[in-house]
Chains A and B, each alone.
Chain A
């Protein structure tokens, strides 16, 4: 038992039960492996490839082949003319993004600010909630609370926005109560200064409960004996969280963070476009709504494809970069070299 203790507390990067992958062990098996020929590897690995085959085929068929259609980003595409026959227009569809329009820069700025809010506030919320739930003694309370908190995930944004308006709007519940108590009303829904805070809280309200599910699954996989060992060594609950629980979650957290970055420039479309007019475009225009208002709304398929490509490339760069940084910290990241 003492082995486990020293290693887990002294080296947060390596906790039992959370090995950093079979890589190092595989290396240790012997030099012959690294010099294997293609055929030899095929002989050993064919079951794994067979298992992977159906999934890969489905992805190739329904995702990659249609992906070729994104060539319309460089064409003036009309459905009745067809993908092949539509004329080439080079980078014209991309101008909506790159013409240096002040409105575009503003949209980009808003997007980045909201992204930051999401990474800093929205992303950790389910982790904190999962830890909180995990620390409850009573399983029943934990399960009930969790079952309640995930419900808002299923509401469409139309309904969520309506609910927030009913509660916090100028004609809503909160202000009605303030009015009958003769107090000054608060302007939340139509207030440009509060917009980013409002949409961030909406996302937290809607999705935190659902997002904790994945973390709870990960927490279930952390060996109880580690907690035992740490407690025996006199670690307080906070230290236990820091040295046992969080390291157990770290792989997943980093994975999810990297994947979130892959979608960095998407900060919510439907949610924002429903509420944009209340506060004006100055504070609410983000990349997706800007593109929509300035191009897609006319049914321009090529523009939509062009923007998708740009977002994808940015996302790819972020994923590659973040993954590399994760490797530098000794983490597994999404993929390994």
Chain B
């Protein structure tokens, strides 16, 4: 019996939870997927010049977006300023964005917020929405007609008809940032070009990106559990991995090898060298599900299930994280931006965890799927006021200040002795920080993210080592730099088809042949073929 009418809102919020995060590609809290850039007009846009900042020398040098720079210390005694004058003009600016965590207190009580306003010389009205309701909120606000000055767009939160929306309600900022014009905003010039590519629509640049590391993710494994089961070294090939998973599985101790069918299939896909969403060869696009590698991966994963190595209750990504943290499974698939945190936390707690490189299948070479170079980008509401755009770009420039600068310290940690204290060179947040810092300024823009784990330099070294070692294994998703309307609209739906098929096959409900006979035709009919056509056209025109 229903007392209150069940609301349709249940639909759309679930859309983000399920359609956004589940699917092919790496799964993480804040890194995006595809659908950016490129028709013929788009490729002619001169992207901003890339002028890397040399403000602070990294202890472990980074390389592009794939290898993150590593730092052991925050240079508290040698802070440099990258911004001379306050960026704002004293105006009030609204910023619609999302959050993945606790929200800070209101502006009137929030000293961090007030501090930032003073630093920026602007009255920032940051309107934060919980990530899982962001899509509805944005579309509702847009429908209401009053667009906030700055709005966050993100590929995991695809707003339908993004190009048309941008064209009609947001400002084309190409003239402000293209080519050498970016030199006016040196911190924004520090953002890799691939991230800028994501902001290109309708032949122009429509926003400022938030870059993310693209390095691949390892398989995280509890080495002590494996050693107890007789597996002393990382498996060298897929077959060994399967045996290792079987060996470590012990239902009596509530321990299984891998948490869910999707993860198991992913191990197989990486091991077989399956493409990252799309493969492009001589202008022809093939989707991963159409490849033999994909089928081989699923066949392998189905065998893992038959071995009994998959946890009987695991199905989603959240299950995977939860079961791994609870030590009910011995391995988990890391996410590109999240795995260093998981790894560092586990090691700090004293558990023996190792990042395993995906082992190769027989006769194949394993790969890692590179993530998206951007997590979000900020678009500016349509205005003819060039000075306003410049003001907002300067504010974005402030937000994108690199690690080790005074501005970065301000944004990331807040006010000294109020939100953090200096304990022997280590920045220690105070309790106040927990309640005040939850204002999503950093989603305006950010500098390329380094690896910095204070008090845990060992982890930083290991992560850097992993990223360096596996850089050559990375394969990109060619569709990331192109744009297809169908793909952007139908991606979530198509991915659901794929996830369902993976679960069906790995759990034994359907045979592997169902991929070719059922999934691929259904996927093609539901928009896959159309997307392929659009990508191929875009590629040919580029």
Contacts and interface: CB of A to CB of B under 8 A. Distances in A.
Complex: A in contact with B (CB within 8 Å): yes
Contacts of A300: 160
B252 A298 contact: no
Given A298-B160, A304-B11, A280 B312 contact: no
B312 A192 contact: no
A162 B10 CA distance: 18
Contact of A299 (B1, B135, B254): B135
A299 B160 contact: yes
Contact of B143 (A82, A281, A297, A298): A82
A304 B136 CA distance: 13
A58 B164 CA distance: 37
B6 A80 contact: no
B499 interface: yes
A263 B14 CA distance: 20
B78 interface: no
B218 to A, nearest CB: 24
Contact of A277 (B1, B161, B503): B503
B165 A78 contact: yes
B142 A79 contact: yes
Interface string A272-286: 010001101110000
Interface string B1-39: 110011010111011001100000000000000000000
Given A170-B313, A171-B328, A304 B8 contact: yes
A27 interface: no
B533 interface: no
Contact of A78 (B12, B164, B492): B164
Contacts of A81: 168
Given A176-B254, A273-B18, A165 B140 contact: no
A260 B256 CA distance: 43
B154 to A, nearest CB: 14
Contact of B1 (A171, A176, A260): A260
Interface residues of A, number: 49
B270 interface: no
Interface string A286-330: 001000111111111100100010000000000000000000000
B457 interface: no
A239 interface: no
Assign chain B's interface to a size class: 35 or more
A169 interface: yes
Contacts of B165: 78, 80
Contacts of A260: 1-2
Contact of B160 (A78, A176, A185): A78
A292 B161 CA distance: 19
Contacts of B312: 169-171, 175, 187, 189-190
B500 interface: yes
Interface in B148-182: 158-161, 164-165, 168-169
B507 interface: yes
A220 to B, nearest CB: 18
Contact of B313 (A189, A281, A294): A189
A70 B439 CA distance: 36
Contact of A179 (B18, B252, B526): B252
B313 A296 contact: no
Contacts of B254: 171, 176
Interface string A123-151: 10010000000000000000000000000
Interface string B219-233: 000000000000000
Given A79-B143, A280-B500, A297-B493, A169 B313 contact: yes
B256 A171 contact: yes
B256 A298 contact: no
Contact of B14 (A179, A180, A211, A270): A270
Nearest to B14: A273
Nearest to B160: A299
A298 B490 contact: yes
B252 A293 contact: no
Interface of A: 78-82, 123, 126, 165, 169-172, 175-176, 179-180, 185, 187, 189-190, 192, 207, 211, 214, 256, 260, 263, 266, 269-270, 273, 277-278, 280-282, 288, 292-301, 304, 308
